[in-house]
Amino acid sequence: MELEQAEMVWKTEVTLMDTVFGIEVFTRANGRSFALTRYSPEDVFITDGQNEEDALMQHSVVLPLAVGCRKRREMAAGSEVQN
């Protein structure tokens, strides 16, 4: 993904599971958009959309799920998980 070929059009922050995350929305030259959140320097969530609103709407559904999965994995890494 080339961020240089996209223009950031919107930026906000949300709090999920007691952690603040930034959401950046970009528009490409072809009119399509995507939303981006950096969980860590190596872990980035990207959600594509038909336009800015669609990308943000899709991201608002995916982001809590992605964060929840990573938080549970981090908690499980510190203790033995029993089935």
pLDDT per residue as tens digits for the range 5-60: 899 999 999 999 999 999 999 999 999 999 999 999 999 999 999 999 999 999 99
Q: CB atoms < 10 A from the CB of 56, how many?
A: 18
- ∠75-25-32 over CA atoms, to 5°? 120
Q: Which domain holds residue 28?
A: 3-77
47 in any annotated domain = yes
Is residue 82 in some structural domain? no
* pLDDT confidence band for 3 (50 / 70 / 90): low
Cα 13 to the center of its chain, rounded Å: 11
Instruction: Please check whether residue 49 lies inside any domain of the structure.
Output: yes
Task: Return the SS3 of 56.
Answer: helix
pLDDT at 83: 44
Going across the sheet that includes 33-40, the strands are 6-16, 19-28, 33-40, 43-49
Q: Count structural domains, the chain.
A: 1
Q: Is 27 part of a structural domain of the chain?
A: yes
Q: Two tokens at 77?
A: 């890494």
70 within a domain of the structure (yes/no): yes
